[in-house]
Amino acid sequence: MSEHKNDKEAYKNEPYRNQEFVVNFKDPFNAEPTPTRLIQSYITPTEHFYVRNHAPVPDIKESAYFLRIEGLIGKPMVLTMDDIKSKFEKVTIAATLQCAGNRRTMMSEYKKVKGVGWGIASLSNGTWSGCRLRDVLEYCKAFSKDSGAFHACFWGLDFGCPEEPDGKPYGSSITMEKAMDPEGDVLLAYEMNGETLTRDHGYPLRVVAPGIIGARSVKWLGRIIISPYESESFFQRRDYKIFHSGIDWNNITDKVWDSTPSLQELSIQSAICSPAPNSTVYLPFTIMGYATGGGGRKIERVDISLDGGESWDYAEIMTEEKGPVNRYWSWVFFRYTITHLNQLDHQKQVPLKLMCRAWDNASNTQPRDVKDIWNLRGVMNNCYHIVDIVVENKKSNL
Amino acid sequence: MSEHKNDKEAYKNEPYRNQEFVVNFKDPFNAEPTPTRLIQSYITPTEHFYVRNHAPVPDIKESAYFLRIEGLIGKPMVLTMDDIKSKFEKVTIAATLQCAGNRRTMMSEYKKVKGVGWGIASLSNGTWSGCRLRDVLEYCKAFSKDSGAFHACFWGLDFGCPEEPDGKPYGSSITMEKAMDPEGDVLLAYEMNGETLTRDHGYPLRVVAPGIIGARSVKWLGRIIISPYESESFFQRRDYKIFHSGIDWNNITDKVWDSTPSLQELSIQSAICSPAPNSTVYLPFTIMGYATGGGGRKIERVDISLDGGESWDYAEIMTEEKGPVNRYWSWVFFRYTITHLNQLDHQKQVPLKLMCRAWDNASNTQPRDVKDIWNLRGVMNNCYHIVDIVVENKKSNL
């Protein structure tokens, strides 16, 4: 990808990675599990959890680590990891993180977009333990919205993002509504899946902001600035925004960038993880995949089509997270088993065009066609997922 | 509509109605304003506010009125209107109410559905004053969810719904999460647009539950029952549910009805109110309409197409309600002005297929085709709205 400069020296101290990963970009490291691996467990094992880095992975000693909290704050502060672990209640949530670029490759196949290509697996589900961002901000006496504090800005310690001038680290921000919402569940996490964070996932401390795009869950958190303004980072101001399909790199203006809201809440998403595209299967077989509502919305149903969207039936939702309204942070898996196909009584092979689409508790569903949501950054591709397969008859007399 | 029994005697005491209304069903009264009237003011005047009744309008004396609150309640109570006005803080919100059947007629044109036909205007925006349902339930010591109180069930005083046996009134329920949410803004309203409620809108007291389907905002409220279960009303259990397009009146089962969640939050919606379908217009002209996010979500953008969805441009959002995240209860209006069409340089007439679609702050958008969302009750039709027009050149030499 031309937007990333490759500097071998800067990437010489990367952590060991699972060899099963599909590597979409090497330096910085961007990788996703295979679709079949993705649905092998409801909580994604850490070594299979997708990785989206923007710079070399910093090598931080916990003993030398501190978090600065400044800006519109009554008591600006520097906290050590000891402070963070001892001064604030430890809480654990389960939450799916998803990159806004999930399924970008498919969008690019329709019409080329810029950005790291991703298949259908740049999302994963984990448990996260740490303290509530809200508790920390209250402890530091963060100003309220009435006093002009509208955004919680995060800077990482991963210096050297190629997109940033002067080797700045990755940065991003969320709204103070989300940061301070008692039901927003934004954490400063130091554990993932019950163990200390790994380097690839933000050791020793990261933001986990469930329900919104993964880009806001800043890893290797070094600084929080409470501000009237969004983060000044490239990744807040000139990336992770969605435009109509007529906006391209030739006609986009600063005015369009500036007036377009930064993505926060995720939209509804689903994809078929098995069978694989262009595979041949035998009866009976089961279609399996994931669905996730944005913003903590519940997945109410998943529909499956075998005929390219002409007719539909309900999939079975296998894992239904029990949560209060609007706090369904984790994905669900779905399955649909086919035991008989009339056409196979007379034919050796039947091609099927599998499709899935999910519906949330606000009757929002996915768009059918990628052309209706195509955008120049290739973000938020949540159109119906299509998988072409062939079902073959095992009977030899046909 | 065959589902409504017409009983002239029962409907002899209906209130006076505006003669401008488009009447979709007379007894019970179901009417919407014309699309051009709808967008004449951001707050819909009461006499033009859509009316969706399920039974004859009751004629209630405020002095004889009382509200019963019972079920999972520490202090079951009977409140008079004096109690309601004096014991609880009076608050005012602006909120758009929308019938889940809005745009049903269009769905029926694709494939016949059962239910009162509605154009694009079975929604309106009003201001509502009253007390918070939450305050009343706290006063009565309603049980918490931990004690099994999951639903706030409402019964009206509009006895004689044709769908109900034994002349029961209209009934519905919302979740206790919504009822008790400090930011849910559910009111027991006694004023609309700054004046005492009119009979058609629920005098003397009604529920206003913003962000969710209008069917839950029960008018002429007579009884609140806090319950482990949803309302037992026909309208909760056997109506206002959405199925996939393969479910029809021949194959639907009790199991499907029972396992399908009742609609609560509205989905994202928009429609073009001007120009009118099949009209002829001259340059310059302006496309105008409304857009509304469900569940208090903000409308971030509205796109307009002149060519049936091939290319798109941004409409201007005219009225942007300022609200905290997730409390955008009111619609927005949009406009898009066309001053020149290249084709008109050479032609006398140019046919245009206008389309609109909205996007909310979670990047949810509307589905393109009605076939993808068709359902047997004809609810939640929020596909792209299409208006065919002809633009005519005033120049006589062409």
Q: What local confidence, expressed as pLDDT, does residue B320 receive?
A: 61
Amino acid found at B379: V
**Using a CB-CB distance cutoff of 8 angstroms, which residues of chain A are in contact with residue B263?**
363
| ipTM score for this prediction | 0.90
CB–CB contact A311 B361 (8 Å): no
Q: Give the integer Cα–Cα distance in Å for B331 and B319.
A: 8
> Hunting for tokens 């809440």 — which residue is that?
A265
- In chain A, the residue whose alpha carbon lies closest to the alpha carbon of B178 is A325
Distance to chain B for A364, nearest Cα, Å = 5
- The string of DSSP letters for B267-313 reads PPEEEEEESPTT-EEESSEEEEEEEE-GGGPPEEEEEEESBTTSS-E
CB–CB contact A361 B264 (8 Å): yes
CB–CB contact B368 A367 (8 Å): yes
- In chain B, the residue whose alpha carbon lies closest to the alpha carbon of A183 is B181
> Which residues does B388 contact at the CB level (< 8 Å), separation at least 6?
B277, B278, B351, B352, B353, B354
Residue to mutate among B145, B176, B213, B244, with most A CBs inside 10 A, is: B244
> Hunting for tokens 């706090």 — which residue is that?
A327
Q: How many CB atoms lie within 10 A of CB A252?
A: 16
Q: Is the pLDDT of residue A4 over 60?
A: no
Confidence band (pLDDT; 50, 70, 90) for A393? confident
Amino acid found at A306: L
CB–CB contact B246 A178 (8 Å): no
Contact of A380 with A119, CB cutoff 8 Å: no
Cα-based distances in Å from B324 to B108, B155, B328:
37, 32, 7
Q: Residue A180 is encoded by which pair of tokens?
A: 């301070």
> Which residues does B251 contact at the CB level (< 8 Å), separation at least 6?
none
CB–CB contact B362 A324 (8 Å): no
Confidence band (pLDDT; 50, 70, 90) for B324? low
Tens-place pLDDT, residues B262-319: 999 999 999 999 999 999 999 999 999 999 999 999 999 999 999 999 999 999 998 7
- In chain A, the residue whose alpha carbon lies closest to the alpha carbon of B179 is A325
CB–CB contact B312 A361 (8 Å): no
Q: What local confidence, expressed as pLDDT, does residue A330 receive?
A: 94
**Using a CB-CB distance cutoff of 8 angstroms, which residues of chain B are in contact with residue A246?**
311-313
Name the residue among A100, A128, A113, A287 with its Cα closest to residue A195: A128
**Using a CB-CB distance cutoff of 8 angstroms, which residues of chain A are in contact with residue B294?**
362-364
Q: Give the integer Cα–Cα distance in Å for B392 and B398.
A: 10
Count chain A–chain B contacts defined by CB atoms under 8 A. Answer: 97
Distance to chain B for A390, nearest Cα, Å = 24
| DSSP category for residue B15 | P
Distance to chain B for A227, nearest Cα, Å = 17
Domains of chain A: 9-259 (3.90.420.10), 269-392 (2.60.40.650)
Residue to mutate among A102, A365, A380, with most B CBs inside 10 A, is: A365
CB neighbour class for B274 (10 Å; exposed up to 12, middle 13-18, buried from 19): middle
Question: Which strand (E) or helix (H) includes residue A286?
Answer: strand A285-292
Q: Is the pLDDT of residue B221 over 60?
A: yes
| Residues pairing with B174 in the sheet | B152
Q: Residue B236 is encoded by which pair of tokens?
A: 């909760």
Q: Residue B35 is encoded by which pair of tokens?
A: 């699309």
Confidence band (pLDDT; 50, 70, 90) for A115? confident
Tens-place pLDDT, residues A223-282: 999 999 999 999 999 999 999 999 999 999 999 999 999 999 999 999 999 999 999 999
Tens-place pLDDT, residues B141-156: 999 988 999 999 999 9
Residue B311, phi then psi, degrees to nearest 5: -130, 155
CB–CB contact B363 A380 (8 Å): yes
| Residues pairing with B78 in the sheet | B68
CB neighbour class for B22 (10 Å; exposed up to 12, middle 13-18, buried from 19): middle
Name the residue among B228, B374, B211 with its Cα closest to residue B298: B211
**Using a CB-CB distance cutoff of 8 angstroms, which residues of chain A are in contact with residue B367?**
365, 367-368
Contact of B361 with B224, CB cutoff 8 Å: no
Confidence band (pLDDT; 50, 70, 90) for A322? low
CB neighbour class for A315 (10 Å; exposed up to 12, middle 13-18, buried from 19): buried
Residue to mutate among A144, A364, A368, with most B CBs inside 10 A, is: A364
Q: Give the integer Cα–Cα distance in Å for B312 and B353.
A: 12
Q: Which of helix, strand or coil describes residue A129?
A: strand
Q: Give the integer Cα–Cα distance in Å for B312 and B315.
A: 9
Cα-based distances in Å from B104 to A178, B100, B382:
36, 9, 10
Q: Give the integer Cα–Cα distance in Å for B338 and B389.
A: 13
| Residues pairing with A77 in the sheet | A69
Is the omega angle on the peptide bond into residue A28 within 30 degrees of 0, that is, cis? yes
Pick the range with the lowest mean pLDDT from A171-175, A394-398, B112-116.
A394-398
Q: Give the integer Cα–Cα distance in Å for B153 and B151.
A: 6
